[in-house]
Amino acid sequence: MARFGRVLTAMVTPFTEGGELDLDRAAELARWLVAQGNDGLVVAGTTGESPTLPDAQRLDLFRAVRDAVDVPLIAGSTTNDTGHSVTLTEEATEIGYDGILAVTPYYNRPSQAGLLIHFRAIAASTDRPVMLYDIPIRTGRKIGQETLLELAHDVENVVAVKDAAGDLSATAHLVRDAPDDFEVYSGEDRLTLPLLAIGAVGTVGVATHWCAREQAEVIDAFAAGDVARARELNARLLRSFAFEGTDAAPNPVPTKVMLEVLGMPVGSCRGPMGPVPPGLADEARAVAAELGILADAGAGAAAH
């Protein structure tokens, strides 16, 4: 059993029409996502627009979601500043989060030696398990294979990686060489099934805002050895994976549009994410209708 669950969603952060943090809707959204089949949530990750959240708002969001649900919660408590990351991680630990998502420092492109210092400092600041987040397309720096393995072997509470690097061969070698209890989570929805094939235990998804149950079925089918069924189910989700982020509408813009279509409006994104391109809501309706979730999800949102 994956320590945080099989299907987690990197939750969007709700804002009001005026762009203010909407804590009531954040709590409601967290409960709704759990009802839709998520085993756990990542709060204030990149999909949660963490770079636009001042510290006080990020901590208020942590508290609101922690109070709302009783599932594993992972705090997006890190930035590209090591000292700042340590402080936020200490706060998230005190609030009662179950794990920490430690993203590679973005923009400043530290050396691998610098990454080791950064991640070791974060891990030392908490007694909670730490999931590294390797997403070089956004951060500009890959966590090197030797760096990942050193952290996995030498730092007791570095227990997992959210893998959005897109290098399946490297991940296969990581699974082979890391400790047996080190876990790989897919950080790229379209690669979840291939990553399962080389040893991933679950996903931290974006499309799982609206297809968590369907993604869980893929994972269950694969785990049961029914690869043909897993492929069939995964094929039904390909349009969702394509919808969740494009050059014209990068993540999380499409997810916020989809949630509005499903009856769970969470406001617009803060700048620089946006604006919503024409026709995106129509595409969201088509994606939801193809999965057969439009009516059911809308009713569930209304019930909450």
Written as one letter, the residue type at 117 is I
pLDDT of amino acid 301: 47
pLDDT of amino acid 294: 82
For residue 70, count CB atoms less than 10 angstroms from its CB and return exposed for 0-12, middle for 13-18, buried for 19 or more.
exposed
How confident is the model over 219-235, as a mean pLDDT? Answer: 98
How confident is the model over 48-55, as a mean pLDDT? Answer: 98
Q: Does residue 289 carry a pLDDT above 70? A: yes
pLDDT digits (tens, 9 = 90+) for 142-164: 999 999 999 999 999 999 999 99
Q: Are strands 183-186 and 158-163 parallel, antiparallel or unpaired?
A: parallel
pLDDT of amino acid 295: 58
Catalytic residue, from 106, 107, 142, 162: name it: 162
Q: Does residue 297 carry a pLDDT above 90? A: no
pLDDT of amino acid 299: 43
Q: Are 29 and 264 in contact (CB under 8 A)?
A: yes
How confident is the model over 80-96, as a mean pLDDT? Answer: 98
Please report, rounded to a whole number, the percentage of residues in the chain having pLDDT higher than 90. 95
For residue 235, count CB atoms less than 10 angstroms from its CB and return exposed for 0-12, middle for 13-18, buried for 19 or more.
exposed
pLDDT digits (tens, 9 = 90+) for 164-177: 999 999 999 999 99
Rounded to 10°, the helix 208-223/227-243 angle is 160
Q: Are 65 and 73 in contact (CB under 8 A)?
A: yes
How confident is the model over 91-99, as a mean pLDDT? Answer: 98
Q: Is 47 annotated as a binding residue?
A: yes
Beta bridge partners of 133: 103, 162
Report the range of poorest mean pLDDT among 223-232, 264-273, 295-304. 295-304
Q: Does residue 283 carry a pLDDT above 50? A: yes
Q: Does residue 67 carry a pLDDT above 90? A: yes
Catalytic residue, from 97, 106, 107, 133: name it: 133
Q: Does residue 237 carry a pLDDT above 60? A: yes
Q: Is 204 annotated as a binding residue?
A: yes
162: annotated active-site residue = yes
Three-class DSSP labels, the chain: CCCCCCEEEECCCCECCCCCECHHHHHHHHHHHHHCCCCEEEECCCCCCHHHCCHHHHHHHHHHHHHHCCCCEEECCCCCCHHHHHHHHHHHHHHCCCEEEEECCCCCCCCHHHHHHHHHHHHHCCCCCEEEEECHHHHCCCCCHHHHHHHHHHCCCEEEEEECCCCHHHHHHHHHHCCCCCEEEECCHHHHHHHHHCCCCEEEECCHHHHHHHHHHHHHHHHCCCHHHHHHHHHHHHHHHHHCCCCCCCCCHHHHHHHHHCCCCCCCCCCCCCCCCCCHHHHHHHHHHHHCCHHHHHHHHHHC
256: annotated active-site residue = no
Mean pLDDT of the chain: 96
